[in-house]
Structure 1
């Protein structure tokens, strides 16, 4: 056997091993309960309290309920007191856990000193950085965004600054106790550069990189820090789309995402979204970014919004909130 033949055999074997390992790692994400089991008392062991931002509805509300069902008291944070009070009552009635309401608007400046005062005496074991702002459900080019200067400030404050500041407030206590969980809600659209949602997707890339960097820094302290990047979840931000195999209810998504908690520093939170993420990254960018594809995407979302179904219990909420899509 000559040297060239040995080289190609070795190269082929290396490729097979490489893709075999990738396939094994991917298959683990399809069976998270088996590969990444959590002890029954996992969450209550982490601490007495969980803090969830953007908890008045959608994914945040579902996380607050799920963590209360695991035996944790919860702090729920958002900007609409009446809705938060209702959610607090529902959680308390259903689980018997204590619920603390903190009313704040994360799009504003200088809200974190008051938040820190309200959290300073709590033994916080879990933080879910969920709150996020989508400038417009309908895809549009960056310069076509309404009130662009204010939109930039609000998106950065809500999606970027809040993520960092909440970690600054809560992470020191976790480090001192040597345990804790921080979940950062990113988005599937951060998987690749996303035209027509450029500002939003870029803010979620920041969330992912910040989260992954923190995990590398603090994993030896016994702290789990994970970015979760969902695609379709039936929330106000997504126009309350009908649930199906791809678009999950907030409750189903959160239940699935908690099974992936020990699956690495970033997950898509569910099996179907993991497959979607893999497919999206496999499509050539020239196809995704072609003008015709962008126009088709814009028209599709616009038609979906025109036909969308708004649950009756959300109608009053939509009247109370402003038109920005904030969760």
Structure 2
């Protein structure tokens, strides 16, 4: 559905996307991860023609976004980072305007809006002004807007940033339903657990390049297999001394704590027995560990 070959985008002397190759298959949920400035949003912009590529090839539905963006936009929906809703109008009025903008037949607009408001648990807010909605309600309404055109491809650009866990999980459920019903999804997110839960396959981008590609579990198995112990800050000196003498231990520190990764759970428990250091938490390696290893950057929802 999306094919990129040697795709490049430069802004003056700055290269945002550096000759990447990737493809998104029909029917999959594809994740695009990376720190701020990695090139994710630039790639997303190039897929539907708001950003013109500098070099390489790119096709979406077989169309070139540089010259056929109208054909592409008619078949995709976008949940943008910014809500971009008219605060002075009601929920229904906003959606009616957007239906007209994307060419939904006038005879279908009211029913389509009402059905999608019901689907996103917003029917009770149909006649409410946008300015009275909570942040979570506005994000759900942006999902409604993205679905009004019955898209084959749904682009979710950091769809749950800043939302509380309850709303985030509600939206995850809706994304799963859409995916199960055949919608192809491209997701960019700073939440690694979100990518693990939703994506069949993903890439991690860093400084305009693809650093890794595969399913979440295959990437964990390849780059950070094993278990992680999280230790107290007061154990720092002792941990550093032990890790420097033992080459098989993977130790790192960031602002959230001290992390020690071993290949097996038994290695981590043996470390505790041998050195008298008790971890605050023990967990299997996850996608966040892969991200940190490949990008060298800490995660944040506003990175």
TM-score range, shorter chain: 0.3 to 0.5
Task: Work out which of the two has the higher radius of gyration on C-alpha atoms and give 1 or 2.
Answer: 2
**Of Structure 1 and Structure 2, which has the larger fraction of its residues in strand?**
2
Question: Normalised by the size of structure 2, how large is the TM-score?
Answer: 0.34
Question: Normalised by the size of structure 1, how large is the TM-score?
Answer: 0.32
